[in-house]
């Protein structure tokens, strides 16, 4: 199997399920013009996140790693009226582009972007005793994932779904010889998930326009 095959299957699914609407195309174009890296989730993956959020009837969603708001829009579209997406991004330029994109997509009123480093931002949410989140999407720097998990658990309740992207890294996650910091970060995160008695966890390998990678999916027991 090749990248070309994965691309053509993703294209087929995008067309079949109408996943790449004009707003989402404009959002990606805005990210491209602003010079943001092309590292968002794909349309199929965005809809996967949206369906997860709808399945757990998420009214409050936490995202760590906003970029230009692409995955956040998919998630925000799952929210009922008065639902809330809180999304954390430390690059000011990314946060600015995301704000414009959330407004363009018509979900801006339900979205709070915290333009800060994720660890202090999460700690601050804990200190403020905000209501717990129903779904958490972790998609920022990989060495931070272990801390993001520990902090997210303090912002969760029984039934909260915690999803993390990029946990396979072209299969490198199973290469015990590597000392690449992102792979090590992901492996430490997966070990923490496995050791966490309050979680039920699986991980799924994915292929598509984003290459070969995968998600972990956990639920708080
Ligand atoms: C993979 S991108 C997020 C993609 C986005 N979730 C999407 O699919 O549209 C990761 C983002 O996390 C941000 N980031 C990285 N480290 C961070 C940190 N320590 N705190 C907050 N944001 C961080 C990066 O600036 C980048 O915009």
Q: Is residue 70 in contact with ligand 1, taking CB distance under 6 Å?
A: yes
Encoding tokens for residue 169?
């890294």
- Over range 165-184, report the average pLDDT: 95
Quick one: pLDDT at residue 211? 97
Q: Is residue 139 in contact with ligand 1, taking CB distance under 6 Å?
A: yes
Q: Whose CA is nearest to atom 26 of ligand 1?
A: 67
Q: Is residue 220 in contact with ligand 1, taking CB distance under 6 Å?
A: no
Q: Is residue 87 in contact with ligand 1, taking CB distance under 6 Å?
A: no
CA of 68, closest atom in ligand 1: 9
Q: Is residue 140 in contact with ligand 1, taking CB distance under 6 Å?
A: yes
pLDDT band at residue 184 using 50, 70 and 90 as cut-offs: very high
Domains of the chain (ranges plus CATH)? Answer: 3-220 (3.40.50.150)
Percentage of residues in the chain with pLDDT exceeding 70? Answer: 100
Quick one: pLDDT at residue 133? 98
Mutate to test the pocket of ligand 1, among 40, 67, 124 (most ligand atoms within 8 A of CB): 67
Is the pLDDT score of 206 beyond 90? yes
- Tens-place pLDDT, residues 93-120: 999 999 999 999 999 999 999 999 999 9
Quick one: pLDDT at residue 1? 76
Quick one: pLDDT at residue 17? 98
Quick one: pLDDT at residue 201? 98
Is the pLDDT score of 36 beyond 80? yes
Average pLDDT, the chain: 97
- Tens-place pLDDT, residues 56-100: 999 999 999 999 999 999 999 999 889 999 999 999 999 999 999
């Amino acid at each position: 199997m090749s990248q070309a095959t994965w691309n053509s299957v993703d294209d087929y699914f995008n067309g079949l399920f109408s996943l790449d609407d004009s707003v989402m195309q404009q959002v990606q174009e805005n990210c491209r013009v602003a010079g943001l890296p092309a590292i968002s989730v794909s349309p199929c993956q965005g809809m996967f996140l949206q369906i997860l959020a709808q399945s757990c009837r998420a009214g409050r969603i936490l995202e760590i790693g906003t970029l230009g708001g692409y995955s956040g829009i998919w998630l925000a579209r799952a929210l009922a009226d008065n639902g809330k997406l809180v999304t954390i991004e430390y690059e000011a330029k990314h946060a600015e582009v995301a704000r414009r994109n959330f407004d363009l997509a018509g979900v801006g009123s339900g979205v709070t972007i915290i333009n800060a480093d994720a660890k202090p931002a999460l700690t601050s949410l804990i200190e403020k005793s905000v209501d717990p989140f129903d779904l958490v999407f972790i998609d920022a720097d990989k060495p931070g994932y272990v801390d993001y998990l520990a902090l997210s658990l303090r912002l969760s309740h029984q039934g909260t779904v915690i999803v993390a992207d990029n946990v396979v890294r072209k299969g490198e996650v199973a290469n015990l010889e590597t000392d690449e910091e992102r792979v090590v970060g992901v492996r430490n995160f997966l070990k923490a998930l496995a050791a966490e008695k309050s979680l039920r966890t699986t991980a799924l390998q994915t292929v598509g326009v984003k290459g070969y990678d995968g998600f972990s999916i956990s639920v708080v027991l």
